[in-house]
A and B are shown apart, each in its own frame.
Chain A
Amino acid sequence: MDCFDEMNGMDGALREAYRDVEAWLENETPESLSRKRNEADAIFRRLGITFVVYGDGGSAERLIPFDVLPRILTGSEWDIIDRGCVQRATALNRFLEDIYHDGEIVKAGHIPDDLVYQNPLYLPEVHGVALPFGVHSHISGIDVVRTGREEFYVLEDNLRTPSGVSYMMEGRNVMMRLFPDLFSKMRVRPVEQYSEILLQNLRAVAPHGTHDPTIVIMTPGRFNSAYFEHVFLAEQMGVTLVEGRDLFVEEGSVFMRTTAGPKKVDVIYRRIDDEFMDPLAFRADSALGVPGILSVVREGRVTLANALGNGVADDKGIYPYVPEMIRFYLGEEPILQNVPTWKLRDEDDLAYALDNLSELVVKEVRGSGGYGMLVGPTSTKEEQEAYRMRILADPSNFIAQPTLALSTCPTFVDTGVAPRHVDLRPFVLAGEKVSLVPGAFTRVALREGSLVVNSSQGGGTKDTWVIG
């Protein structure tokens, strides 16, 4: 498959942004790169930047493979992504605010109402709750892929508890340590301000009338796969990292247990899924949540970031309608395109998908992490047939997309420096304003030809540089 290479474009001609990197690479050998990679690994391991893999017989702490070759975006490329992501996150927030209030977009007939209101991720429990600035998704991870010089597509939106930002920031730290010379030549835009902007936003969305709000990050605990990131963010922002058992509800407020007694909490940046947040309202067997917190949320006496009930907006069944949201709420044309998507709940789309399985990517509407999807061109006939049966059993549970020629980026692998497919996850921060820092979490599929970049499926990461 012909695809765009971040360094060499379509035609193999070196792109200007990579000039310094190429010059540097020419002086490196597989041995020296290997040494740098080991150094990077040692730093990650020493800092404990690991993620937890769940498998047979418990869990293990692993490093996500870090590739020492950066992925570079020019200022004008970044500008497209930046404006596109701000636009998209703004529309998605408006959408969430709308469907938890009057549902204008549904009434206007732009989105089928069953997709919204019968969606299991729609939480009637938070209908009508007033949120500061109407922000539901304070932190959004927008997964972007590239197929050409200025062709960027949004693959999916992550509006619940998107992770990966610690890799964006620690990856940068490691790179600056390993390659100071490159940084002094290349004027890479900094990303460190991320935590400061996030903290400002979290303060801004505190319940009305709160003076000097107490902000906490809530983690499921140290056995969670993203625990390192929770720690990292708490440290960067200087806020307390709590678990559900540290919090309790009393007299309409949320408190944490401290050495000097209860202390009121105003804003909770929670990294726990909706269903585990309140055992009284959702999953009764959840030991991670805080009994009764939903009632405090409903009264507007504590702000959750992200808000409850966001899943309905990043559901793959809703995804095809995001361009429509942008037009409806903002009166603008989408800056970043959606990947063309066949909704298999529609008969015509279903027929088309079943006829073309070997060329499409088929995903479960509610799947994530790269699990349970079919990548047509790289699958066997047997896999396709088995998947066909699954689709037929419940077509509305699936969408199909063309197999995109994801861009590649030079990556240091066993055979030397070779192109590997990458994607891009910038993080959009919403408070009083919506913004992002010039950087992102770049994931790379380390296996030759593979299009699956998820870390749970053997993907690695790269530092992402925005220059100029």
Chain B
Amino acid sequence: MDHMLSRSAEDLYWMSRYVERAENTARFLDVSYRMSLLPNDRDDETLHWGPAIAIGPNPEQFYESYGEATPENVMYYMALDPENPSSIYSSMCSARENARAQRTMITTEMWEGLNYVWIEMRDLNREKINEMGLRSFFDWIKERSHLFRGVTFGTMLRDEAYQFVRLGGFIERADSTARLLDVKYHVLLPSAEAVGGAQDYYQWGAILKCTSAFTSYQKIYRGELTPARIAEMLILRDDVARSLRMCMIAVTDTLDILAPDRNLECKRIAGRIHADLQYATIDDVFEQGLHEFLEDFVVRNARIGSQLQTDFLMSPVVEPA
């Protein structure tokens, strides 16, 4: 395999992280939106929107500029606010900027796709999103992300660049699945030691739907929704597309392809996380505490990212704003 510029590897890695991030933010907002549609006994509507802010990297910034976590505010902040570095808008812009810097490393179709999103997004504002409907907006973002992934899979040379694109996608996805589960679990669990009643069913169902895992759940468990099974599915299953374990399988595989003969620290870290997921049971996870487990996972997953910088000569980690 021909070796590429370190800077290019880094840009491509971030490009796909940003696309994945935009998609996951859309998924997250989607689930918050669906949950908020239900009549709620805790009639504080900030309940479902506060967590959407809490999951982000900079909740303080939000409360400073917006005050309250009303659905309207959160939606705007997370979807379109250019000041919010992890808004869907900012993520897609960053993805496009990285792609633009690496036009020569990706296919024309990949570039056109991201450039198109950027062109469309520049014209969006609150009114237009309200007009098209929130769900349609989320769907549109998800579609563009799917399209990007599909075009990457369908057109890109299987070279080093491709592997870095894959790597970025899976590391980001692992991060977001873990955060989503963590935050939602928090919100839901107090009212539902065991899932029961139409409302809980709806809410847990929303988590599954937002991770595109509802039908998978039905296929695997063929039955009622329980928090433990949902956690098991999204953490430990090796056949669920967005599960932590699935992401780690992809990450370790990719690292083996990238550096088959090199004994790299990033391979060791990723391999160990993978092994922990492979041999853990969901009871172990609950024993440690789900929250603690997920928090620990997020930190270790981030460590793979920073170790990549060292192992592939990329610049020191500063996540671009």
A residues apposed to B, CB below 8 Å: 45-48, 221-222, 227-228, 231, 234-235, 240-243, 245-246, 256-261, 263
Contact = CB atoms under 8 A, between A and B. Distances in A.
Contacts, number: 60
A240 B313 contact: no
14 contacts: A46-B116, A47-B115, A48-B100, A222-B100, A240-B8, A241-B103, A242-B5, A243-B7, A245-B7, A257-B6, A257-B7, A258-B4, A259-B258, A259-B312
Interface stretch (B30-38, B82-90, B104-112, B227-235): B104-112
Given A258-B5, A259-B6, A259-B160, A240 B104 contact: yes
**Size class of the contact patch on chain B:** 20 to 34
Given A45-B119, A234-B104, A257 B112 contact: no
B313 A258 contact: yes
Nearest to B98: A222
Contacts of B6: 246, 257-259
In this complex, which of B100, B103, B160 has the most chain A Cβ atoms within 10 angstroms of its Cβ?
B103
A48 B111 contact: yes
Given A222-B100, A234-B104, A235-B103, A257 B116 contact: no
B116 A259 contact: no
A260 B160 CA distance: 11
Nearest to B99: A48
Given A48-B111, A257-B5, A261-B313, 19 more contacts: A45-B115, A46-B115, A47-B108, A47-B112, A48-B100, A48-B115, A222-B97, A234-B104, A240-B104, A241-B103, A241-B104, A243-B7, A257-B6, A257-B7, A258-B3, A258-B5, A259-B6, A259-B9, A263-B3
Interface of B is mostly: helix
A257 B104 contact: no
Nearest to B116: A46
A227 B111 CA distance: 15
A231 B111 CA distance: 12
Contacts of A47: 108, 111-112, 115
A205 to B, nearest CB: 22
A260 B3 contact: yes
Contacts of A261: 3, 313
B9 A222 contact: no
Contacts of B104: 231, 234-235, 240-241
Interface of B: 3-9, 97, 100-101, 103-104, 108, 111-112, 115-116, 119, 160, 258, 312-313
Contact of B5 (A222, A235, A256): A256
Nearest to B7: A246
Nearest to B163: A259
Question: 10 smallest A-B Cβ distances: which pairs?
Answer: A231-B103, A260-B3, A258-B3, A234-B104, A259-B312, A257-B6, A241-B104, A235-B104, A222-B101, A259-B3
Contacts of B119: 45-46
A240 B5 contact: yes
A393 B296 CA distance: 72
Nearest to A262: B313
A200 B258 CA distance: 31
A242 B111 CA distance: 19
Contacts of B9: 259
Contact of B4 (A221, A235, A240): A240
Nearest to A245: B7
Contacts of A234: 104
Contacts of A263: 3
Nearest to A231: B103
A241 B104 CA distance: 7
Given A257-B313, A258-B313, A48 B103 contact: yes
A234 B102 CA distance: 11
A260 B37 CA distance: 52
Nearest to B308: A259
Nearest to A238: B104
Nearest to A239: B104
Given A46-B112, A48-B115, A259 B103 contact: no
B99 to A, nearest CB: 9
A231 B100 CA distance: 9
A227 B99 CA distance: 13
In this complex, which of B4, B104, B108, B115 has the most chain A Cβ atoms within 10 angstroms of its Cβ?
B104
A257 B7 CA distance: 8
A221 B102 CA distance: 10
B316 to A, nearest CB: 13
Contacts of A259: 3-6, 9, 160, 258, 312-313
Contacts of A231: 103-104
Given A45-B119, A235-B103, A259-B160, A246 B108 contact: no
A48 B116 CA distance: 10
In this complex, which of B101, B112, B312 has the most chain A Cβ atoms within 10 angstroms of its Cβ?
B101
Contacts of B101: 221-222
Nearest to B115: A48
A45 B6 CA distance: 29
B96 to A, nearest CB: 9
Contacts of A260: 3
